[in-house]
Structure 1
């Protein structure tokens, strides 16, 4: 005769029917377990949120640049595609007519950094202006040159002798013009240079105040189109390689090392986009800066986008300084140490292989 240990408790009787768990009660128990787990997760998340520091605020940065110049593509791409914001930067892009004007915006406190060609940086060194280059972002040999009027006897570079040539002095256009006429065996005083702002060159050529105009794209293409069959153009290929850089005041850059690294990372992404997605990059420039699509496409194979600080930049600045001193464009006769005008620490921290300056 088997022993009985008493009747089953009521809760067990309710919970089981025929040896199986009551479905309604099982569902209730499962829901209770889930709610308990969710409450624990929520409590943990709230605790972690209280312990984590608040997100860093986005940093404002004003960048002065010539938006009409193809070399500014890395900046415009970083802005349009959100690379600046990804690095914690709220960028304001200030449009200027040249790199020289963009650098003036920095010197006047209107911008934190500027895109600029090598010539204004070279003159900054000669004039002891404390600027520093954080990186070059673009180079090409085919975007500088001269547009002339056939009805004024301009046919080729040699025919520039004795002609009135409009140019923006102390810019890359000025240096490229000197290199071009020097290749023809002409001295600078064998042409009549007239100083104009970049935006004034086309109207001056159209009015006949000058026989030719020296500058860079896209204004060269615009002047040539305006002249129609009366126009002739020649560029400075194999004579001058244009370098386009990002620079700012030395004290500002040295005081914001983390900001410069974030800026460089965004520009690296922008330059990669411009180099690897040419069709999309050209479309961006057309939409943002109203470039001529056909002209942009034709010149693109000669454009090189990359963020770097290489020895060639240092040598170029020294060569250009010798040119300025030889042509008495400065009272200075000693060579500045242009290594002091390059900020190496930022790019060395972000992309050390991109720094090849010997120092």
Structure 2
């Protein structure tokens, strides 16, 4: 399902990019060489390490100021807020998920992704309730699982059914918000929870058993990572901007992305420092924060992996009638800004 040959600026790509000339002094020189069109502006952030990690680090360590920017981060609670704010035309730059871009494009709004932030498949998953033991995944048939309607974690069951030979339609899904789902699962009212971090971690800390994430299966009791091209679920967090800003304020967006490149390096090379910052800014319990940041793969750029997440989420959104038609990647992603920062950030090419 996924042509996942590109990994943005993860650990391996950082080494490659530095060798190609993406040294931090060069980033600063690049920022100084191009006049920023609008130094002061607002970015819509999400108080979640899956979506807001680089923003939080850049804000706390004054990395925006190093690029000549005066950025105000308006922190919100979820990517749903991004949909509302960007959909209403109340902001020009924001973070979101692959689903955010799918819906905005489905509404034919002029908003495009200019970079990934993290591969978040490992933060989406499925936890069995305390005391529930399965000798084989087919024993999921007949079980009751909590889930939150409108979220793609339900697709984990379809993939698990395909792999292990059971019928996911024989599983009863009980719609409730994530907090209710954690409580219901901990009490045994349901036999498991489909959801995302930190809710998975909360249930595990109550005695639940992690059974699968988008990137790893734990059916045997041991982690079994899925091949990059055959994950259970694909999803990314990303940075979006209006087409108007991409066209008229490219230097501003490039300076913003340079700051996030530096923040990403802190996340990869000095995790202790990053965790201290994230705990203060994002206000998340330190143990849950550690689990979440470990599950994320922080990576910047426009990559085949990012495009694969877009296609996966697009197909799901259309199947639930959230969008009427699927927009092609070329209508949803702009490589211009990442190319300005470094060609090494762009490993996907639009179809001509």
Per the alignment, in what secondary structure is the counterpart of residue 52 of structure 2? Answer: helix
TM-score by length of 1: 0.70
The question of whether the paired residues in 2 share the 8 Å contact of 1:156 and 1:234 is answered with no
**Match 1:232 to one of 187, 209, 214:** 209
CA distance in 2, matches of 1:188, 1:249: 39
Per the alignment, in what secondary structure is the counterpart of residue 142 of structure 1? Answer: helix
The question of whether the paired residues in 1 share the 8 Å contact of 2:302 and 2:346 is answered with yes
The question of whether the paired residues in 2 share the 8 Å contact of 1:103 and 1:115 is answered with no
Stretches of structure 2 that go unaligned for 5 or more consecutive residues are: 1-35, 217-225, 227-231
For residue 319 of structure 1, what is the aligned residue in structure 2?
Answer: 312
Distance 1:335 1:103, change over 3 A: closer
Distance 1:146 1:346, change over 3 A: same
CA distance in 1, matches of 2:153, 2:177: 11
**Match 1:90 to one of 70, 84, 97:** 70
Whether 2:258 is the aligned partner of 1:278: answer no
CA distance in 2, matches of 1:56, 1:124: 26
**Match 1:60 to one of 28, 31, 41:** 41
For residue 160 of structure 1, what is the aligned residue in structure 2?
Answer: 140
Q: Deviations over 1:270-317 (max 9, x none)?
A: 111111111111222222223333444456555432311012222332
Whether 2:240 is the aligned partner of 1:247: answer yes
The Cα RMSD (Å) is 3.2
CA distance in 1, matches of 2:163, 2:233: 11
Distance 1:329 1:59, change over 3 A: same
Whether 2:112 is the aligned partner of 1:132: answer yes
CA distance in 2, matches of 1:136, 1:319: 15
CA distance in 2, matches of 1:329, 1:156: 33
CA distance in 2, matches of 1:270, 1:257: 20
For residue 7 of structure 2, what is the aligned residue in structure 1?
Answer: none
Distance 1:279 1:152, change over 3 A: closer
The question of whether the paired residues in 1 share the 8 Å contact of 2:125 and 2:196 is answered with yes
CA distance in 1, matches of 2:100, 2:160: 19
CA distance in 2, matches of 1:221, 1:178: 23
For residue 342 of structure 1, what is the aligned residue in structure 2?
Answer: 333
**1:116 Cα deviation from its structure 2 partner:** 1.9
137-146 or 161-170, which deviates more? 161-170
Q: If you compute each CA radius of gyration, which structure gives the higher value, 1 or 2?
A: 1
> Which of the pair has the greater relative contact order for Cα pairs under 8 Å at 6+ separation?
2
For residue 76 of structure 1, what is the aligned residue in structure 2?
Answer: 56
The question of whether the paired residues in 2 share the 8 Å contact of 1:140 and 1:303 is answered with yes
Superposition pairs for residues 192-341 of structure 1, below 5 Å?
192-206=172-186, 210-225=190-205, 228-229=206-207, 231-236=208-213, 237=216, 238=226, 239-297=232-290, 300-325=293-318, 327-330=319-322, 332=324, 335-341=326-332
Whether 2:88 is the aligned partner of 1:108: answer yes
CA distance in 2, matches of 1:188, 1:125: 30
For residue 4 of structure 2, what is the aligned residue in structure 1?
Answer: none
Distance 1:330 1:104, change over 3 A: closer
303-312 or 340-349, which deviates more? 303-312
**Match 1:358 to one of 345, 349, 352:** 349
CA distance in 2, matches of 1:159, 1:111: 48
